[in-house]
Amino acid sequence: MITIKNFAFPKSLEEAYRVLNEKRNNVILGGCAFLRMTSKRIETAIDLSKLDLSHINENDETIEIGSMTTFREIETNPILNKYFNGVLPKSVENIVGVQLRNIVTVGGTVHSKYGFSDFITALLSLNAEVTLYKQGTVHLKEYLEQDTKKDIVISISIPKTNRKAAFQMMRNSRSDYAILNVAVSNEDNDWNIVVGARPQRAKIAKEASKYISQSDKSIEEVEKAALMASEELDFGDNMRASKEYREEICKVLVKRAIMEVL
């Protein structure tokens, strides 16, 4: 059970960042779905709900998602259902149930860089960028590789293009974490093949993505790209699946996702 000594409701991001860094055990609150499962002793819990960070907007070039946006909003938003074949709504629609999706946030998810995350896998396939208060804007790909520092995720930005995308995952049971998730996208023969829950963090299969971009997309080439993805990425064991099983599942899900995009 978490213990919270004080609550702060900052009126600006500047104030939120200052309070966050005042003490080691001051933390930002997202939807608290994960935080409340820990036994953290929080000195000051920082609630961002007064900072207008819950929104999904489009402009000429990008789609912007505020960090306090919930997964239920991602799932039901018309803009996100219109672009990229609805890959972002599809990536979250199987996460536990509506009650959980009504509270979990984009910021809590992206900041935590969970290996099992379905949403991060889909975001990575769309060349998303993350904007943080201190660090500024950084490609999600780079952000996932960095050590996590005390900072505030403000928003996610996705290039608004005609990119086609597909999301595939496999779970042992409906409300469990995925044993593997895959997102594939393509725009003008620029393909991204992303595999997450390996169980490590989502990663782009660079060689497989390059191969499929340059191929004629025959069924043999699609199968070869799927095999290449399973060979170039690392997989591991956990209580849900073995490394070898994940490698096999990777070939199947990558093939299905490429076929879906085609």
Which residues of this chain interact with ligand FAD, rule CB under 6 A? Answer: 27-35, 67, 95-96, 104-105, 107-109, 111-112, 114, 116-119, 152-153, 177
Min dist CB 138 to ligand FAD, Å, is: 14
Which of 102/215 has CB closer to ligand FAD?
A: 102
DSSP category for residue 148: P
Min dist CB 74 to ligand FAD, Å, is: 10
Min dist CB 162 to ligand FAD, Å, is: 26
Which of 10/108 has CB closer to ligand FAD?
A: 108
Q: Where are the alpha helices (DSSP H) in the chain?
A: 13-20, 71-76, 78-82, 87-92, 98-101, 106-112, 118-125, 140-145, 206-214, 219-232, 243-261
Min dist CB 86 to ligand FAD, Å, is: 17
Which of 65/193 has CB closer to ligand FAD?
A: 65
Residue 50, both tokens = 């007064």
Which of 196/222 has CB closer to ligand FAD?
A: 196
Min dist CB 104 to ligand FAD, Å, is: 4
The residue type of 140 is: L
Phi, psi (rounded to 5 degrees) for 41: -105, 105
Which of 101/163 has CB closer to ligand FAD?
A: 101
Q: Which residues contact 118 (CB under 8 A, 6 or more apart)?
A: 91, 92, 94, 95, 167, 169, 178, 181, 196, 197
Task: Determine the angle formed by the axes of helices 243-261 and 219-232, rounding to 10 degrees.
Answer: 140
Q: Which residue is nearest to ligand FAD (CB)?
A: 108
Nearest-angstrom CA–CA distance, 4 and 66: 25
